[in-house]
Amino acid sequence: MSIVLENLERLKEAAKLENISDEHMKVLQNPVQVSYAELSVNGKQLPAWRIIYNRALGPGKGGIRFHPEVSEDEVQSLAFWMSLKNSLADIPYGGAKGGVKFNPKESSPEEIEEISRAYARAFADKLGQDKDVPAPDVYTNGQIMAYILDEFEKIQGHHEPGMITGKPIELGGIALRGDSTAQGGYLVTKEMMKKFLIGKDSAKIAVQGYGNAGLFMAEKLAADGHLIVAASDSKGGVYNDQGLDVKALSAWKHSGNSVNDFPGGTKVSNAELLELPVNILVLAALENQITAENAERIMAPCIVELANGPINLEADRILANRKTIVVPDILANSGGVIVSYFEWAQNRTGQILDEEYLRDLLDKKMKSGWQRVVEKFEEKNGEITLRQAAYILAIKRILAAEKYRGRIK
């Protein structure tokens, strides 16, 4: 089943649990705007998308992914998850996502700049601080956001830093953004441990995907005394049951090495990492990592989804039967977009807010999201999953906005 169809199935399930009518759910069945372009760069034609799934709560908001496997199905699914994530986080955004299908690892910096600028030109009329606001995602970063901003502003003829987030600080970005996804994930993981892993002062944790989200998350958990026993990237992983030296591992990764070659442990494949005997499995790479094929073999009693969509629908059902606790992506990785919202708000008002205040606000928003999800979960006597609880809350806020707008009765 495509990821889009799986998402619709998940929506249906959540709606049924809360007796939301099919008529109301119709507004969430399809994206509101699908834009496609072929970017001509150095004689190549690169497929590119920008999709807004829903905008009842505000402008589109979501990252841009550069990856050789990007497809419309994937971008639409990511835009769908962004809609629910932004709704659950109580921020004034709809959900959107973008992507370009090419391999940035095989492209020169000049070519990546040209592709970023071509992306901005292709979608300039669709983007803007009140229309749709991109951000970084897999294999995109602040520099790429800067190229897109620069090209967009050239076309518009005025400054508009709020059209994109995750920018360098000099262009209106904020310091907090760098590790905000991991910080948010770390805060909900701590809440999850208090509730579901009582007495575990030193949990064993495996992290799949040692990139922006996974690396900072591992560092924060290790600083609290937890053991990061395994980590991986696209080339494979490393395992040490006594705990990896996380500082050394991060330095190794920052120097351009793969964690797979890190000398402080034994090599494991990404598939093996998922099945290790750990207390918490952090998924911070890509979609569809746990499926019906491996779900029965997952030994971790708790999983945190820092990546978007790392567990497919069938696997979700298997894990639910086994009472595995899954902190869903739309909650666990929402720290990034919450801080993006702070950046956007600053850009729009011209005010510069105190960093401590914003850190505190992120903390409060993450904890409030966790509490609301747990309350819904408990209201249903723990017979639903945390994902279903989160979906119900997110759907209801979007539908309330649709109702006020008169699109549903």
Residues that bind ligand NAD (CB under 6 A): 137-139, 181, 208-214, 232-234, 270, 284-286, 306-308, 333, 336
- Shortest Å distance, C-beta 338 to ligand NAD: 10
Residue (18 or 90) nearer to ligand NAD, CB: 90
Task: Of 375, 273, 369, give the one whose Cα is nearest residue 328.
Answer: 369
**Which conformational region is residue 101 in: left (phi greater than 0), alpha (psi within -120 to 50 degrees), or beta?**
beta
- Shortest Å distance, C-beta 149 to ligand NAD: 17
Residue nearest to ligand NAD (CB): 211
- Shortest Å distance, C-beta 127 to ligand NAD: 19
239, 261 contact by CB (below 8 A): no
Looking at the chain, how many residues does it have?
409
- Shortest Å distance, C-beta 252 to ligand NAD: 12
329, 213 contact by CB (below 8 A): no
Residue (157 or 256) nearer to ligand NAD, CB: 256
For residues 202 and 218, what is the distance between their CA atoms, to the nearest angstrom? 13
To the query of whether residue 97 is one of the catalytic residues in this protein, the response is: yes
Catalytic residue among 61, 97, 167, 220: 97
Residue (20 or 135) nearer to ligand NAD, CB: 135
Residue (145 or 285) nearer to ligand NAD, CB: 285
- Shortest Å distance, C-beta 109 to ligand NAD: 16
Helix, strand or coil for residue 339?
helix
For residues 249 and 277, what is the distance between their CA atoms, to the nearest angstrom? 21
Residue (31 or 335) nearer to ligand NAD, CB: 335
User: Sheet of 44-54: strands edge to edge?
Assistant: 33-41, 44-54, 95-101, 60-67, 132-136
- What sign results for the dihedral spanned by CA atoms 20, 11, 61, 327? positive
Question: Which residues have a catalytic role annotated?
Answer: 97
